[in-house]
Amino acid sequence: DQQVKQNSPSLSVQEGRISILNCDYTNSMFDYFLWYKKYPAEGPTFLISISSIKDKNEDGRFTVFLNKSAKHLSLHIVPSQPGDSAVYFCAASARATDKLIFGTGTRLQVFP
Amino acid sequence: EAQVTQNPRYLITVTGKKLTVTCSQNMNHEYMSWYRQDPGLGLRQIYYSMNVEVTDKGDVPEGYKVSRKEKRNFPLILESPSPNQTSLYFCASSLRGRGEHSTDTQYFGPGTRLTVL
C-alpha cells in the first residue's frame, strides 16, 4: 500500500519554463512533507519542506504547495534549469511516528 | 566536512554469505536510518535508530539486522543475503527523529549498490 504516490515517473520541460511535480498521499496523519532531489550515483539531498499548518513554502526558484483537503502537494520550479535534471522524491511523516515515507520518484529532464 | 559515509560503495556477493554495510556520520546526529531504493518502489525504510541502543523496524526489515552501539555508526547486517536483497542502499541521519521535531531533515550517504547472486 503506497501511502505517498508520485504518479508521473518522468517529466520533460524546456529550460526557462516551469516544472511542476506532483505528489499525493493517503494518510491524513501526515503533518510534514519534504522534497528531495537525487542525482545519479549520489544520495538524495534535501530541497524544501512544508508543515501541514502552511499551504505554501518558497525558497528561491522552488515553491511547494500543500492542499490538505485533496491530500496533494506539488513542487514548482521556476525557471527550470538544466542543472535541475534529477529524480525528485516526495516524502511525508507523521508526528506520531518516527518514519519518513517516500514516494516512487519523478525523473525531471530540463532540455535547452 | 559534515557528511554521511557508507562502505563499501559497491558489493557483489553470493547467496548466504554474511555481509555488513557500514554507515558513519560526523554531525552528532541522534537519528539514523537505512533505506533501500528499488525501481518503481522508491525509497523504503529498513530500520531506524532514535539514539544509541535504540533501534526499530521500518517498512521492510525482513532479512536485515542493525546495531547502534555508538552514536556515529549504524551498520546494516545481512546475515544470509538472498537475491531479492539486490538493491541500492542508503544510510541517512538527522539531528533528531521525526516525533515532535518534525522540522529535521535527513542527510543521506552516497549509497551502496549490492548485488546478491
Mean model confidence pLDDT for chain A: 94
- A106 vs B contacts (CB less than 8 Å): none
pLDDT tens digit string along A6-23? 999 999 999 999 999 999
Q: Are A23 and B42 spatial neighbours (Cβ–Cβ below 8 Å)?
A: no
**pLDDT for B106:** 86
Put simply, whether A98 touches B (Cβ < 8 Å) is yes
Candidates B94, B100, B106, B107, partner chain A, best to mutate (most A CBs within 10 A):
B106
Check CB contact under 8 Å for A98 and B31. Answer: yes
- Mean pLDDT for B95-106 is 65
Say what the pLDDT of residue A96 is: 67
One-letter amino acid of A61: R
For the stretch B23-53, what's the b/e string if a residue is b when 16 or more beta carbons lie within 10 angstroms of its beta carbon?
bbbeeebbbbbbbbbeeeebbbbbbbbbeee
CB contact under 8 A, B42 and A99: no
Lowest-confidence pick of A48-52, B14-18, B34-38: A48-52
Segment B91-112 shows an average pLDDT of 79
Confidence (pLDDT) at A37 = 97
Contact A104 B90 (CB under 8 A): no
In Å, how far are B40, B51, B70, B117 from A84, measured between CA atoms?
21, 35, 37, 35
A75-105 per-position pLDDT tens digit: 999 999 999 999 999 999 887 677 889 999 9
Q: Which of B67, B72, B73 is nearest to B55 (CA)?
A: B67
The three cell numbers of residue A80 are 527550470
